[in-house]
Amino acid sequence: MTISRRSLLQAGLAAPALLSPLLSQRAVAQKAGGIIRYGLSAFPPNLQPWVSTGASAGTVKMLINRSLVGYGPNGELRGELAESWALDKDGAWVFKLRQGCLFHNGEPVTADDVKWSIEQIAGEKSTAYMRAQFQGVERIEIPDPQTIRLVTKQPEATLPTWFGNYNTFIIWRKSQPNEPIGAGPFRLAGQERGTSLDLVAFDKYYKPGFPKLKGIRFVVYADENLRNAALMSGDVDMIEYVPWQSMAAVEADQRLKLDSVEGPFMDVLFNGTKPPFNDARVRRAVAHAVKRDDIVKAAFFGRGKPLEGLPIVEGTPWYDKELAHGWNYDPARAKALLAEAGYANGFQTTMLATAQFGMHKDTAEVVQQHLAAIGIQCELQLPDWSTRVNRGVRGQYDMAIHGVSSDNNDPDGLTVVLDTSLSPSHGRSFKVDAPRTIAALAKGRAEFDQAKRVEIYKEMQRVALEEVPLVGLAWRSQGYGMTKDVKGFVNLPGALTTSSGCMLEETYFG
Amino acid sequence: MSAGWLARRIALSLIMAWVVATIVFLALHMVPGDPAELLLSTGGAVPDATAVAELREKLGLERPLLTQYAAFLGGLLRGDLGTSLVDDYPVLHEIGLRLPRTLELILAGTLLAILIGVPAGVYAALHRGGAFDRFASGVTALLLAVPVFVVGTLLVLLFAQTLRLMPAGGYIALAQDPVQHLKLLTLPAIAIAKGLAAVLFRMTRSAMLDALANDYVRTAYAKGLAPRRVLIVHVLRNALNPVMTVLGLHMGTLLGGTVLVEYVFNWPGLSTPLLRAVEARDYPMVVGIVLTISILFLLINLVVELLQVLIDPRMKTA
């Protein structure tokens, strides 16, 4: 058979037309099979159940593991392996386990597994994220095989939320160290390091009718624009972290929808060991000097909200409109505060951020401009992220820009960023003096009465506005993009947005 | 070209690879950044300092640098590149899985560049000053000027996002789905090929022009050889030598170019884990991959030298 030039050309031209139905057939086949293709922003560094390795890892971990409690669509704590929990008359937390929960190997979930898991988290050699919290547990008692009683060293009002964190899972107590066996709605069926993970539904999951999907295929797209292109071209059904600049395009696309909430926030951190930022008045001057709208516009394409107080989520009982604007934009006041602190003519300083993440760099640039307007000239230092972390931990900076999400929507979740008496970290100010804020946080943690807690945390906000352990700058929008036939997924409110992955057990194609 | 010469070249290459590995190892440990701290701070999380210290201990980062280097060299001699600090995954497995994909991308790109660049260069030289020559020279200038990530992003925008003809990026094994595999390979291969095709076009064109001007070409025509034979045996064979040299040099730089292309198209070759490992200060992974890339670079150069000798026996004495 001879192939003429013409027939070859014709074949070449026809090829795309022949191939594209093939591609869409693949997609349709996967949807019909109940397998969702999900564009992940980062490959989980590892899937160790108790070690914090980021929110993308958290999404996968939440689906293959389970804890005593979890979050429902409205952001309320709900029972998972535990069907109920309460404080007993002696101030200990008692959890009742649900009947019939099984690990992926078919073993039942027992109180012994819960005890063992907590002991691993709190252990001497532990590298767990919740290590410090669980070391506050003095005794773990098992009155009967379905009940677990936690006696804490100090009263702990927010203990149940510890189990809601995606770094606190109950693992089968006889698991091999590198093969933790969980009780989540999906099983890990396969993975290729750095590229993709495949989950399949666990057929003996304790919630009847769940998960609704047969499986999830996680594909990693580290580049945000490619992740978005993958959604728009139909390569995947859903993506996390829709880039801010692409949110409008996703909203405008007939086939797609966007679910976004303002959860994580940007803030300024200080080095409190040396002048000028060891003076609360100077820190407060910074707080009043920055026009937050500019950050929302420049760094987040308008997809965010100014933050002029502590990062307390609007709509929660702890939110107070006046306190939420306690650091309103007021350059005259900022200048007056500087003068009061003895810096009427301003000063020169440095600001640490990272060029590796555009939002950090853009935020830093806006802050730099506004500080210059009140006489604070800062030189930007924009190393890579690893250097930024390293210098932050060691206090090698004057001011730093950071972006984070607190652990949950309870103000106690802010301890990790506000309590400057904790060990130095890149994510909180370095040895800034804020004794009254820290005392108020401790008081709130030990109080069980809701009305009193609300008052304590309002007071905490009041003193923090004066002590300035950090300066809030902006809430940033966190969006999930998906095709319109993806149903049942909810982006959880506020700080819980990074825990929304658990909603994939309720997700289906409709 | 004696066996001794080859042995010397290989030994030299190995020594150079060792020097590269050592420099990378030391440089990585000198720059700020702590793998344990970074891992536990993923996504901006605020880790517990004691947990960080425990992890450092567990990963063996508290040992003196020389001890760590000795352990690394010892492993290297046994053919063991160690395991990732992040998830304990063996470095050799990662390289074994991903190196073939990077090579496939480079080979596909190179092949494409040769298939486009060389014939176009020949044609342009034979029709010097013609419409095609002028057009192609302009296009190559453009191709050389536009960075590879811009071309990559534009390709994704046009073919995946707007026309929805091609997948935006990713990878599927050839055995699993050959059609999809080739579709996924197409755009990154074009992005890789574009610079090299331009270079090859220019090189071929000017080498052809040089060769065409030689007396022996005139003689060949004069003694009545068929134009096709003159072109292939007398002109092209002589013109190909500088083209081969340039190709060899550029295949090395293609290794660097794949970093961007693999990133833009989510092609899971060697570059992405390298980038991620550098960011995470995953020392064994970085050193292992850099070592592999250097050996590959040296190997390509060696092969190109051998090929040159085959094409042009005069090179043997050089």
Say what the pLDDT of residue A311 is. 95
Say what the pLDDT of residue A76 is. 92
Residue where one domain finishes, among candidates B77, B105, B131: B77
**Higher pLDDT residue, A26 or B117?**
B117
Spatial distance between the Cα atoms of A361 and A352, rounded to a whole number of angstroms: 9
Determine what percent of chain A is predicted with pLDDT higher than 90. 82
Spatial distance between the Cα atoms of A63 and A127, rounded to a whole number of angstroms: 22
Residue A8 has pLDDT above 70, yes or no: no
How do strand A35-40 and strand A238-239 relate by DSSP bridges? parallel
Tokens 């107070």, located at residue: A320
B231 in any annotated domain: yes
Residue A199 has pLDDT above 90, yes or no: yes
pLDDT band at A21 (very low <50, low <70, confident <90, very high): very low
User: Does A357 contact chain B (CB < 8 Å)?
Assistant: no
Residues B50 and B111 occupy one common structural domain: no
- Among A63-67, A187-191, B312-316, the minimum mean pLDDT is found in B312-316
- Select from B190, B211, B192 the least CA-distant residue to B271: B192
Spatial distance between the Cα atoms of A393 and A387, rounded to a whole number of angstroms: 10
> What residue of A is the nearest CA neighbor of B161?
A233
Residues B50 and B107 occupy one common structural domain: no
Residue A19 has pLDDT above 60, yes or no: no
- Whether residue A424 has a cis bond before it, omega within 30° of 0: no
User: Does B165 contact chain A (CB < 8 Å)?
Assistant: yes
Chain A closest-CA separation from residue B132 CA (Å): 21
Q: Taking CB atoms and an 8 Å limit, are A127 and B161 in contact across chains?
A: no
Q: Kindly tell me the sign of the dihedral angle through the C-alpha atoms of B173, B179, B185, B187.
A: negative
Residues B277 and B130 occupy one common structural domain: yes
Token pair for B139: 């296009």
Say what the pLDDT of residue A22 is. 44
Q: Which domain holds residue B56?
A: 3-77
User: Does B268 contact chain A (CB < 8 Å)?
Assistant: yes
**Where residue B231 sits, what CATH number does that domain have?**
1.10.3720.10
For B129, other C-beta atoms within 10 Å of its C-beta total 8
Spatial distance between the Cα atoms of A108 and B149, rounded to a whole number of angstroms: 52
Tokens 């130095």, located at residue: A424
> What residue of B is the nearest CA neighbor of A16?
B165
Residues B46 and B151 occupy one common structural domain: no
Give the type of residue at B117.
G
**Chain B environment of A18 (Cβ under 8 Å):** none
Structural domain count, chain B? 2
Spatial distance between the Cα atoms of A443 and A411, rounded to a whole number of angstroms: 12
**Chain B environment of A126 (Cβ under 8 Å):** 51, 54
Length reported for chain B:
318
Chain B closest-CA separation from residue A212 CA (Å): 27
**Chain B environment of A176 (Cβ under 8 Å):** none
**Chain B environment of A225 (Cβ under 8 Å):** 153, 156
Coil, strand, or helix at residue A115?
helix
Counting one residue from chain A and one from chain B, the pairs whose CB atoms sit within 8 A come to 176
B88 in any annotated domain: no
Residues B62 and B163 occupy one common structural domain: no
Say what the pLDDT of residue B245 is. 81
Residue A35 · residue A216 · CB < 8 Å: yes
A406 conformational bin, left if phi > 0, alpha if psi -120 to 50, beta if neither: beta
Q: Taking CB atoms and an 8 Å limit, are A22 and B179 in contact across chains?
A: yes
Find all residues with CB under 8 Å of A23, minimum gap 6, and list them. Answer: B167, B180, B183
Report pTM. 0.85
- Select from A127, A124, A122 the least CA-distant residue to A137: A122
Residues B139 and B246 occupy one common structural domain: yes
Q: Which residues pair with A39 in a beta bridge?
A: A219, A239
Residues B172 and B302 occupy one common structural domain: yes
* Regions of chain B with pLDDT less than 70: 1-2, 43-44, 313, 315-318
| Selected residues 277-306 of chain A with any CB under 8 Å from a CB in chain B | none
Burial class, A494, CB count within 10 angstroms (exposed 0-12 / middle 13-18 / buried 19+): buried
B59 in any annotated domain: yes
B272 in any annotated domain: yes
Say what the pLDDT of residue B87 is. 86
Q: Which residues pair with A196 in a beta bridge?
A: A192, A219
Residue where one domain finishes, among candidates B47, B77, B107: B77
Say what the pLDDT of residue B279 is. 85
Say what the pLDDT of residue B249 is. 78
B294 in any annotated domain: yes
How do strand A238-239 and strand A347-352 relate by DSSP bridges? unpaired
**Chain A environment of B153 (Cβ under 8 Å):** 225
B109 in any annotated domain: yes
Tokens 């001057």, located at residue: A285
For A105, other C-beta atoms within 10 Å of its C-beta total 12
For B318, other C-beta atoms within 10 Å of its C-beta total 8
Q: Taking CB atoms and an 8 Å limit, are B266 and A223 in contact across chains?
A: yes
B49 in any annotated domain: yes
User: Does B30 contact chain A (CB < 8 Å)?
Assistant: no
Say what the pLDDT of residue A16 is. 41
Residues B162 and B25 occupy one common structural domain: no
Residues B147 and B227 occupy one common structural domain: yes
Q: Kindly tell me the sign of the dihedral angle through the C-alpha atoms of B236, B242, B247, B248.
A: positive
Coil, strand, or helix at residue B199?
helix
H runs (alpha helix) in B129-226? 131-145, 148-155, 178-212, 215-222
Token pair for B167: 């997948």
ipTM here: 0.79
User: Does A168 contact chain B (CB < 8 Å)?
Assistant: no
Tokens 């910074």, located at residue: A286
Spatial distance between the Cα atoms of A209 and A218, rounded to a whole number of angstroms: 22
Say what the pLDDT of residue A239 is. 97
For B51, other C-beta atoms within 10 Å of its C-beta total 24
| Selected residues 418-447 of chain A with any CB under 8 Å from a CB in chain B | 423-428
Spatial distance between the Cα atoms of A408 and B54, rounded to a whole number of angstroms: 26
Say what the pLDDT of residue A159 is. 96
Residue A30 has pLDDT above 80, yes or no: no
Q: Taking CB atoms and an 8 Å limit, are A389 and B50 in contact across chains?
A: no
- CB-CB: which of A16, A193, A383 is closest to B89? A193
Q: Taking CB atoms and an 8 Å limit, are B32 and A19 in contact across chains?
A: no
**Chain A environment of B37 (Cβ under 8 Å):** 389-390, 393, 426
| Stretch A18-43: mean pLDDT | 70
Q: Taking CB atoms and an 8 Å limit, are A19 and B183 in contact across chains?
A: yes
Residues B48 and B138 occupy one common structural domain: no
Residue A106 has pLDDT above 60, yes or no: yes
Residues B55 and B144 occupy one common structural domain: no
Q: What is the DSSP string of A224-264?
A: HHHHHHHHHTTS-SEESS--GGGHHHHHH-TTEEEEEEEEE
- Select from A300, A198, A190 the least CA-distant residue to A245: A300
Domains of chain A in sequence order: 5-63+182-261+479-509 (3.40.190.10), 65-162 (3.90.76.10), 263-476 (3.10.105.10)
Q: B294-301: long-range contacts at Cβ-Cβ below 8 A with a sequence spacing of 24 or more?
A: B294/B16, B294/B17, B294/B20, B294/B21, B295/B13, B295/B17, B296/B99, B296/B103, B296/B255, B297/B252, B297/B255, B298/B13, B298/B16, B298/B17, B299/B13, B300/B248, B300/B251, B300/B252, B300/B255, B301/B248, B301/B252
Spatial distance between the Cα atoms of A22 and A89, rounded to a whole number of angstroms: 65
Query: For chain B, how big is the Rg over CA atoms in Å?
Result: 24
Residue A7 has pLDDT above 80, yes or no: no
B90 in any annotated domain: no
| Selected residues 175-234 of chain B with any CB under 8 Å from a CB in chain A | 179-180, 183
Say what the pLDDT of residue B1 is. 55
Residue A5 has pLDDT above 50, yes or no: no
Residues B25 and B124 occupy one common structural domain: no
Say what the pLDDT of residue B153 is. 87
